[in-house]
Amino acid sequence: MKSIATHARDLIVSAIQQTASDIHFSPYEETASIHFRIHGKRIFHSTLPLPMYKKMLSYFKFTSGMDIGEQKRPQNGTFQHRDNQNAFDLRLSTLPIIGTESLAIRILNPMSHTPLERLFLFPHQLERIQKWLHHRSGMILFTGPTGSGKTTTLYALLQSLMNQSSFQAITLEDPIEKNINNIIQVQVNERAGITYDTGLKAALRHDPDLLMVGEIRDQATAHFAFRAALSGHLVISTIHARNAVGTIHRLKEMNIKQTELEQSLIAIASQQLVSINGRDQLPKRAAILELLDGAPLQTQMNGSTSEKQPLYSFEQLRRKAYALGFLPEEEVFTF
């Protein structure tokens, strides 16, 4: 009979082999179901008897540095899985439920860097984003739901910039998902007193050409990030919003002033991933984006009702992708 450690390792290996981004454990009265998130879709993998799941949960909590005895509060932990070629960082999160805890594992491969030109379905959208990066100061925001590829896009953009010229680039991340050469990457750790706010203040003393803020989560971080952009730094970051126009409303809810938006906001890219037709058995995914800049951006910041949507909305982009044969019909009305 396999040990719990061996069973846990086999499960992780299986998830990696199937290119899963997440493993979900959902315990019920007698069993716990296990699902893999593969290319955005949640796929059933197997079940475990509840007593075995509890042992595996304890193993994962111990291995990732969590408190095994704590079952009434959510916890987070990390550890690394190595195979013959790569090292995969695992980010674990528990959530208390009646009688036990659920567990989610995010699988991160810090050694894999997707080339920038392979991320986007439409090359002209990449060309437009690259023009934004010629600015020496201001704010560029990427938005979209969890799992839409925002962070992957930021990493690829940074890697591309560093390959082209010598930038003093600093990132503030929670967590650091991939290591990039020649970039100062700061791990946010609120328990150690390193918040996004304190990290930004320290980063500005290192004379950066470019700042990447992993996520604008709250009002304090938003205000400091915009102040950094107004003081002559190029800042790129992510924020959760439904679409490009919704990002402006979200910023205003965070009490970012109209003048700050007008003076510093360069552009917004709202991102979604779509499964595209490919030759391989596993579906491939690429990003489509609502891009908002220039005059349409100014119109939306001023609250004008004359132009409610960017030139190409997600619906229009999916229809275009379908017409060009990239997108299966069932993907057109998915979102």
pLDDT of residue 242: 86
Question: Of 120-134, 210-224, 269-283, where does mean pLDDT reach its minimum?
Answer: 269-283
Mean pLDDT of 311-328: 86
Could you tell me which residue, 180 or 20, shows the higher pLDDT?
20
b/e map of 239-256 (b: 16 or more CB within 10 Å)? Answer: bbbebbbbbbebbeebeb
Q: What is the pLDDT of residue 306?
A: 52
**Residue 279, pLDDT score:** 47
With a cut of 80, say whether residue 140 has pLDDT above it. yes
- Which pLDDT score, from 0 to 100, does residue 334 have? 63
116-331 folds as Rossmann fold (3.40.50)
Residues 108-120: what's their mean pLDDT?
73
Residue 112 scores a pLDDT above 60: no
pLDDT of 195 reads: 82
- With a CB cutoff of 8 Å and minimum separation 6, the contacts of 17 are none
- Summarize pLDDT for 300-315 with one digit per residue, the tens: 998 765 555 556 888 8
List the 41-49 sheet strands across, edge first: 41-49, 31-38, 20-27, 100-108, 87-97, 75-82
Q: Give the C-alpha distances (Å, rounded to integers) separating 236 from 62, 122, 216, 296.
A: 36, 21, 10, 20
Distance separating alpha carbons of residues 231 and 203, to the nearest angstrom:
13
Q: pLDDT grade, residue 141 (50/70/90)?
A: very high
The two tokens of residue 271 are 């991102």
Is residue 6 exposed (0-12), middle (13-18) or buried (19+ Cβ within 10 Å)?
exposed
Q: What percent of the chain has pLDDT over 70?
A: 93
Q: According to the CATH classification, is domain 4-108 in 3.30.450.90?
A: yes
Q: Tokens at residue 69, please?
A: 């005895």
Question: Predicted confidence band at 281 (pLDDT cuts at 50, 70, 90)?
Answer: very low
Question: Cα separation of 129 and 2, whole Å?
Answer: 50
Q: Identify the pLDDT of residue 329.
A: 79
pLDDT at 22: 93
| Mean pLDDT calculated for residue range 128-154 | 90
Q: Write the pLDDT tens digit of every residue in 221-264.
A: 899 889 889 988 999 999 988 889 999 999 999 999 999 999 99
Considering only the C-alpha atoms of the chain, give the largest distance between any 2 of them, rounded to a whole number of Å.
68
pLDDT attached to residue 311: 60
Nearest to 210 by CA among 257, 152, 158, 277: 158
48: pLDDT strictly greater than 90: yes
Q: Reply yes or no on whether the pLDDT at 5 is more than 60.
A: yes
Q: Distances from the Cα of 190 to the Cαs of 77, 88, 121, 197, 215, in angstroms?
A: 14, 24, 37, 10, 14
pLDDT at 85 over 70: yes
Question: Given this model, what pLDDT does residue 137 score?
Answer: 93
Given a cut of 80, is residue 147 above it in pLDDT? Answer: no
How is the chain split into domains, by residue range? 4-108, 116-331
When the pLDDT of each residue in the chain is averaged and rounded to a whole number, the result is 87
Which tens digit of pLDDT belongs to each residue from 89-105? Answer: 898 999 999 889 999 99
- Tell me what pLDDT residue 34 has: 97
Beta partners for residue 6, in sequence order: none
Whole-angstrom distance, CA of residue 113 vs CA of residue 159:
8
Mean pLDDT of 52-72: 94
Q: How far apart are CA 91 and CA 248, in angstroms?
A: 31
Beta bridge partners of 291: 269
Which tokens sit at 203? 């980063």
Question: pTM here?
Answer: 0.79
Name the band, by pLDDT with cuts 50, 70 and 90, for residue 33: very high
